[in-house]
């Protein structure tokens, strides 16, 4: 895979922003459209009990999250992309990002996205979020 930059990188950045936008809008149809059509998708989340093995499981968990937030009168915190790298070849892409999410205890996440190209369109095959344990130490050193 090659490091992607410029307009090609922006395509991948927009896909990540669209992914986060679906959560902000509680858009299950939009989420489904961003993922592989064969349903072979794995999602590891930074929140308890949100990991998913398969697209159907992921969409079920997303719907549950939407319903819980609606009932509680809360919503998803906006996510800012702080740093981003995209690597791709003709059929697969790997995206890595450092993110800021306001409601987290340390506010920072690391993310990895694996995409497959299907009929000319990039689709999410795997997404992995984790809290960034390095950020607090880095912030302490910087202050």
- The total of other beta-carbon atoms located within 10 Å of residue 38's CB is 11
Three-state SS for 119?
coil
> Residue 137's CB: how many other CB atoms inside 10 A?
11
Q: How many domains, in total, are found in the chain?
A: 1
Distance (Å, whole) CA 73 – CA 26:
13
**pTM attached to this predicted model:** 0.86
Strand, coil or helix: 73: coil
pLDDT in tens, 100-138: 877 656 678 899 999 999 999 999 999 998 877 776 555
Say what the pLDDT of residue 48 is: 64
Question: Which residues does the chain have with pLDDT short of 50?
Answer: 140-141, 143
Q: What is the CATH number of the domain that holds 27?
A: 3.10.450.50
The predicted structure's pLDDT at residue 143: 46
The C-alpha atoms of residue 51 and residue 61 are separated, in whole angstroms, by 8
Q: Say if CB 108 and CB 100 are below 8 A apart.
A: yes
Residue 13: domain span: 2-142
Burial 52-82 (b: 16+ CB within 10 A, else e): beebeebbebbeebbeeeeeeeeebeebeee
């Amino acid at each position: 895979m090659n490091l992607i930059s410029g307009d090609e990188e922006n395509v991948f950045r927009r896909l990540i922003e669209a992914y986060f936008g679906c959560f902000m809008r509680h858009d299950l149809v939009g989420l489904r459209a961003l993922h592989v059509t064969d349903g072979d998708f794995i999602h590891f989340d930074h929140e308890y009990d949100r990991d998913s093995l398969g697209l159907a499981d992921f969409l079920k968990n997303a719907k549950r999250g939407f319903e819980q937030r609606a009932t509680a009168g809360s919503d998803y915190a906006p996510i800012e992309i702080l740093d981003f790298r995209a690597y791709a070849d003709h059929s697969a892409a790997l995206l890595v990002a450092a993110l800021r999410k306001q409601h987290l205890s340390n506010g920072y996440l690391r993310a990895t996205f694996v995409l497959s190209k299907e009929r000319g369109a990039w689709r999410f095959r795997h997404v992995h979020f984790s809290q960034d344990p390095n950020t607090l130490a880095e912030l302490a050193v910087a202050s």
